């Protein structure tokens, strides 16, 4: 039987700075249940006067980590919730969450075959849960990640991604759309059909694609993948917000 979704009180166990605009919060959950990578939690903040607001945040951690989850939050300058989570929250703070939520944008070891992941900005978060799970579960099918960020400093989880790429058949391609460090060997433009073809080509037909990021990037990548030969039912998308790299 499906478990009813209830609000529970999360306690912030750790705060880690990922980039100047992005932090990861580790949340201890008294009612933790295993998630499928790609799922999210709703976060509900309630002010002293009773005003309450909620937003969705993808789970960044793998389901093998019991009792806690990581969420990774990009600060939207004029946002209501993300600046609070990034700038005000400290270890020991508590707020309400409910989840895990979502059954479509999910991937786990039970799904065989090559995997193509396309991320824009903080859209890497649910894909990171998939990659962390893939590594822990020892999945050997090939996987490729195309990750678009504005600058090198804005790449989230950069070091861990490099470690993951050194093993288990994961290949990572980056595109830096605004500025690139000296000697940069990756792409330097927004995602386009030629890039999608180059990155996905070695996976062959039958790869399953997951695209996550700002709406515009998701649409360009999903349409582009169809043009380079993916059937629509092999493409899964998740949209985070209106703008992006």
Question: Which residues contact ligand FAD (rule: CB under 6 A)?
Answer: 40, 55-58, 72-74, 76, 78-82, 122, 125, 214, 238, 240-243
CB count, 10 Å around CB of 134? 24
Nearer to ligand FAD, 88 or 182 (CB): 88
Least distance to ligand FAD, CB of residue 79, Å: 2
User: Considering all CA atoms of the chain, what is the largest pairwise distance in Å, rounded to the nearest integer?
Assistant: 56
Using the minimum distance from each CB to ligand FAD, give the nearer residue, 122 or 175: 122
Which C-beta is closer to ligand FAD: that of 114 or that of 244? 244
Nearer to ligand FAD, 18 or 108 (CB): 18
What's the number of CA atoms in the CB half-sphere (13 Å) around residue 3?
12
Block residue for tokens 């707020």: 95
Residue nearest to ligand FAD (CB): 79
* Least distance to ligand FAD, CB of residue 211, Å: 13
Residue 48 or 78: the one with the smaller Cβ distance to ligand FAD is 78
Minimum distance, C-beta of residue 125 to ligand FAD, in the bound complex (Å): 4
CB of 114 to ligand FAD, least distance (A): 25
CB closer to ligand FAD out of 43 and 139: 43
Q: How far is the CB of 76 from ligand FAD (least distance, A)?
A: 4
Q: How far is the CB of 132 from ligand FAD (least distance, A)?
A: 14
- Alpha carbons 217 and 241: distance in angstroms, whole number: 10
Q: Measured between alpha carbons, how far is residue 119 from residues 21, 141, 168, 210 in Å?
A: 17, 20, 20, 8
Query: Rounded to whole angstroms, how far apart are CA atoms 104 and 236?
Result: 8
């Amino acid at each position: 039987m499906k478990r009813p979704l209830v609000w529970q009180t999360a306690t912030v166990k750790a705060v880690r700075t990922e980039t100047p605009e992005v932090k990861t919060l580790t949340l201890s959950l008294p009612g933790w249940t295993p998630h499928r990578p790609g799922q999210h939690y709703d976060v509900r903040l309630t002010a002293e006067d009773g005003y309450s607001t909620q937003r969705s945040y993808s789970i960044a951690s793998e389901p093998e980590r019991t009792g806690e989850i990581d969420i990774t939050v990009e600060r939207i300058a004029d946002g209501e919730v993300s600046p609070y989570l990034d700038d005000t929250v400290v270890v020991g703070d508590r707020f309400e969450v409910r989840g895990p939520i979502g059954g479509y944008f999910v991937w786990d070891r039970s799904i065989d075959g090559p995997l193509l992941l396309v991320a824009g900005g903080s859209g890497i978060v649910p894909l990171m849960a998939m990659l962390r799970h893939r590594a822990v579960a020892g999945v050997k099918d090939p996987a490729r990640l195309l990750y678009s960020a504005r600058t090198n400093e804005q790449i989230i989880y950069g070091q861990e991604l490099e470690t993951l790429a050194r093993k288990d058949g994961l290949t990572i391609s980056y595109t830096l759309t605004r500025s690139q460090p000296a000697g940069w060997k990756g792409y330097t433009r927004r995602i386009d059909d030629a890039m999608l073809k180059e990155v996905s080509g070695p996976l062959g037909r039958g790869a399953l694609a997951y695209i996550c990021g700002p709406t515009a990037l998701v649409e360009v990548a999903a349409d582009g993948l169809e043009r380079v030969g993916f059937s629509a039912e092999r493409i899964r998308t998740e949209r985070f917000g209106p703008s992006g790299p």
